Structure 1
Amino acid sequence: MIRYAALFGLSLTVAACSNEAGEPLDRAVFGNATTSNAAVMAGERDFAIQLATRFAEDVPTTINFAFDSAQLDAEARAILDQQAHWIRQFPEVRFRVYGHTDAVGSNSYNKTLGLRRARAAVSYLVSRGISRSRLQAVVSFGETQPLIPTSDRERRNRRTVTEVSGFLKRHPTVLDGKYAQIIYREYVESAVPRTTLTSERSLRTALE
């Protein structure tokens, strides 16, 4: 990890040194480098990646849409319900929803349509108790990132994708730097009490 941080810092240094002598330093570059290095050294970036992987393994991250529509059908709502259940268990995590379309129509229209789809997904998650401050419907990719390369109508390309984007900086757990607790803690709502497991074993033994 430290090696990667060093290489990243070196690349920024080379970029910064490409300016002519006497030019003012680009403070934004050095500020970004400091922020990135701090995130790497604190482990925040690593844990965000682990959470993103866990989210994608635990629940479907993608919903699909009818042609030229941003309406959520029953299947999409069921998937978003699963996402909302997962998201509620990690109150310090933020998410982004990316909108996509198929290639039918102009690029500008499809960008708008993709954003409408992302906003529809976010609005539904909010209706399921997720704070809007934790969700962002980003500018859509429109038709530029198809799953299936085709110029025809393709439902699999008409989608939104929900992804982990980072942590809420003001959340107490994050401020304390307890990222391991965020990643490895058990799901509270889905945990099975030990007494239940013991009772089940006792009943099974009695029946045998």
Structure 2
Amino acid sequence: MAKLTTTILLATALVTTAACSKKRPEVLPPAPGEAPQGPIDGSGGAGSGAVTPGSSEDFKRSVTSDTVNFGLDMYDIDATARGILDSQVVWLQRYPNVRVTLEGHADERGTREYNLALGDRRANAAKNYLVARGISPSRVTTISYGKERPLALGSDEESWAQNRRAVTVVLN
């Protein structure tokens, strides 16, 4: 009798648990590393190319460039860099709630410590320019990657020139 009661209780528990189980969603989220399918702005216009105002994509489309390049062992803002940063100022003034990070980079020559310090000076030079043009310093953070994240792989002047840079990244 006790065995029969235990069996009935166990069967009832299993049926109840099975009835409460969740159903698999019709559309699964993308796996890690996969690009989401569909519109960026949620408008439903698949393939329309619409970009959300104030987004990273909008920034890259609206400014002259997100990258300022520097000379060897330099971190000064030249005329070309001023033009790029001025276009970023205009965009940042249009979206006053957007925050950015300025990434400082260096080429592969020199020690790790030297290149981290040089990348920091480059990122801060760009930040100081943006702040001098009216962007709140609380909206701009800096980080130096030194030579750890090269844009161009190679040990020639062309590659080194591409890697001596400060990159503005919009935080979404």
Output the TM-score relative to the length of structure 2. Answer: 0.66
Q: Indicate if the aligned counterparts of 2:54 and 2:95 stay in contact, CA closer than 8 A.
A: no
- Residue equivalent to 1:91: 96
Calculate the aligned-residue CA RMSD, in Å. 2.3
CA distance in 2, matches of 1:125, 1:51: 19
Larger Rg: 2
After superposition, the C-alpha distances for 1:67-103 in whole angstroms (9 at most, x for unaligned) are: 0011111100110000001000001110100000101
Could you tell me how far 1:50 is from its partner in structure 2?
7.0
Residue 150 of structure 1, CA deviation: 2.0
Q: How does 1:178-197 map to 2 (within 5 A)?
A: none
- Could you tell me the percent identity over the aligned residues? 42
Amino acid corresponding to residue 166 of structure 2 in structure 1: T
Task: List alignment gaps of at least 5 residues for structure 1.
Answer: 9-42, 167-208
CA distance in 2, matches of 1:4, 1:142: 36
Whole-angstrom CA distance in 2 between matches of 1:160 and 1:51: 19
The question of whether the paired residues in 2 share the 8 Å contact of 1:104 and 1:152 is answered with no
Check whether the contact 1:102–1:152 (CA below 8 A) recurs between aligned residues. Answer: no
- Given the alignment of the two structures, is residue 53 of structure 1 paired with residue 57 of structure 2, yes or no? yes
- Is the counterpart of residue 156 in structure 1 residue 162 in structure 2? yes
Q: Distance in 1 between matches of 2:52 and 2:73?
A: 34
Amino acid at match of 1:93: V
- Measure, in 1, the Cα distance between the counterparts of 2:147 and 2:153: 10
User: Unaligned regions of 5+ residues in structure 2, if any?
Assistant: 1-26, 33-41, 43-50
Report the equivalent of 2:39: none
The 2-side partners of 1:134 and 1:62 are apart by: 18
- Matching residue of 2:112: 107
The answer to whether residue 141 in structure 2 is matched with residue 143 in structure 1 is no
SS in 1 for 2:55: helix
Task: Supply the AA of the counterpart residue of 1:149.
Answer: L
Query: Matched residue of 1:141: which SS?
Result: strand
Aligned residues: 126
Which amino acid is 2:88 matched to? Q
Paired with 1:116 and 1:136, the residues of 2 have a C-alpha distance of: 13
Give the TM-score taking structure 1 as reference length. Answer: 0.55
